[in-house]
């Protein structure tokens, strides 16, 4: 799964302390996924909101939490979220605008790759 550093913070040691890891990360306004070893946590306002078993589940929980709590997507992660919304949820931007060019270019490339596999 593709997640950039604006969405994911990682600690490689299984023994890393969850609360200490959250304190080490600068105070962030946007939710993010914290990976400690093989565990994935969704963190909102420096508080663990949920634990996920897979990266897909973590991303979906984070998107749902942002929708429920009316939190805007981070501008740094916006293209990633718009891609997931358009391709997995078949949702276009609410304001009727088109998707950013980076997202539409990526979708075009994926479509070409899929047509070459058929």
Per-residue pLDDT of the chain (118 residues; tens, 9 = 90+): 334 466 778 877 665 688 888 877 776 667 888 988 888 999 988 889 999 999 888 888 888 888 888 888 878 788 888 888 877 777 766 665 666 777 777 777 777 777 776 5
Which domain range does residue 58 map to?
Answer: 1-74
CA angle 6, 9, 11 (to 5 degrees): 165
Q: Report the relative pairing of strands 32-36 and 39-44 from DSSP bridges.
A: antiparallel
- Answer yes or no: do 62 and 84 share one domain: no
- Looking at the fold, whether 34 and 63 belong to one and the same domain comes out as yes
- With contact defined as beta carbons under 8 Å apart, do 65 and 44 qualify? yes
pLDDT of residue 52: 93
If asked whether residues 115 and 104 sit together in one domain, one would say: yes
What's residue 114's pLDDT? 74
In this structure, the answer to whether residues 46 and 24 fall within a common structural domain is yes
So what's the pLDDT on residue 44? 86
Alpha helices in 1-118 (DSSP H): 18-24, 55-68, 78-88, 101-117
Strand partners, 40: 35, 52
Structural domains in the chain (count): 2
**61 and 115 part of one domain:** no
Same domain, 36 and 81: no
The confidence score (pLDDT) of residue 37 equals 83
Same domain, yes or no: 9 and 59? yes
């Amino acid at each position: 799964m593709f997640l950039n550093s604006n969405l994911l913070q990682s600690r490689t040691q299984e023994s890393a302390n969850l609360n200490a890891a959250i304190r080490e990360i600068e105070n962030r306004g946007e939710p993010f996924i914290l990976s400690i070893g093989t565990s994935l946590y969704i963190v909102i306002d420096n508080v663990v909101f949920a634990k996920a078993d897979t990266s897909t589940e973590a991303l979906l929980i984070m998107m749902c939490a942002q929708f429920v709590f009316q939190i805007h997507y981070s501008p740094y992660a916006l293209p990633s979220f718009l891609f997931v919304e358009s391709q997995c949820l078949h949702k276009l931007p609410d304001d009727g605008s088109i998707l950013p060019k980076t997202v539409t270019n990526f979708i075009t490339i994926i479509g070409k790759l899929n047509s070459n596999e058929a």
